[in-house]
Copies of this chain bind each other. A is one copy, B any other.
Amino acid sequence: MELPSKLLEKTVSYFESLPGVGRRTALRYTLELLKMNQEEAKRFGASITQLVDELGFCSICHNVSDEEVCQICAHPKRDKSTICVVEDLRDLLAVESTGQYYGVYHVLGGVISPLDGIGPSDLHIESLLGRTSDEECKEVIFALPATMEGDTTSFYLFKRLHDHTVTFTCLARGVAIGNELQYTDELTLGRSIQGRLPYENSMRSS
């Protein structure tokens, strides 16, 4: 699909570089911008530039933050002795939205993935080592994706950190709430059998 304008082509190809956006969708987005109020559309463009220029990250946990230290790390009631290691902001928000976690986070900024050229040095691992060697730290929770890359990263972190005097935990794997057993994949169902719990526990948590 050849577009009749180079300017249009440029914006469309930028939208196309976003995940899950094909050429048709990119064109749809771009034409929508042109239908918008002109000032509004310009502010859209400016907001991207400003975001990239000015967005700050928490100096402790690498969470996105407008301040030097993010709201979670700065909160007096959050338990600083428990650190939940997550891949990125979306996973942090997902854990926050459960309302079940009162500790602090460490945002790695990705997972180890040799195929994508992402090695340990591309992630915020050194600062995590610094935090876990602190006496205050008691537990590290690996809340990384349940994929090969996520598991590899958890294992790598465990190897690097295991001489620190902290407890390591990872998220429970099992049958999702509301799912039927017959539609659960074998690996997950197998893990949920291996990791079975005293029935009293399940009553307490529900």
Query: Hey, which bits of chain A sit against chain B, CB under 8 A?
Result: 1, 3-8, 10-11, 14, 17-21, 24-25, 27-34, 36, 38, 41-56, 63-66, 70-72, 88-90, 93, 97
Do A32 and B18 touch across chains, with their CB atoms under 8 A apart? yes
Residues of B within 8 A of A97 (CB): 1
Do A1 and B93 touch across chains, with their CB atoms under 8 A apart? yes
Do A51 and B90 touch across chains, with their CB atoms under 8 A apart? no
Residue of B5, B14, B34, B50 near A47 (CB, 8 A) is B14
Given A41-B52, A52-B33, A52-B42, A47 and B11 contact (CB-CB distance below 8 Å)? yes
Q: How many copies of the polypeptide does the oligomer hold?
A: 2
Do A49 and B55 touch across chains, with their CB atoms under 8 A apart? no
Do B71 and A27 touch across chains, with their CB atoms under 8 A apart? no
Given A18-B32, A28-B90, A89-B31, A5 and B45 contact (CB-CB distance below 8 Å)? no
Residues of B within 8 A of A1 (CB): 93, 97
What are 24 A-B pairs at a CB distance below 8 A? A1-B97, A3-B64, A4-B72, A4-B89, A5-B55, A7-B55, A8-B51, A10-B47, A11-B47, A14-B43, A17-B36, A20-B25, A27-B90, A31-B89, A31-B90, A33-B48, A34-B51, A34-B55, A38-B52, A41-B51, A42-B52, A45-B45, A45-B49, A45-B52
Residues of B within 8 A of A71 (CB): 4
Residues of B within 8 A of A34 (CB): 51-52, 55
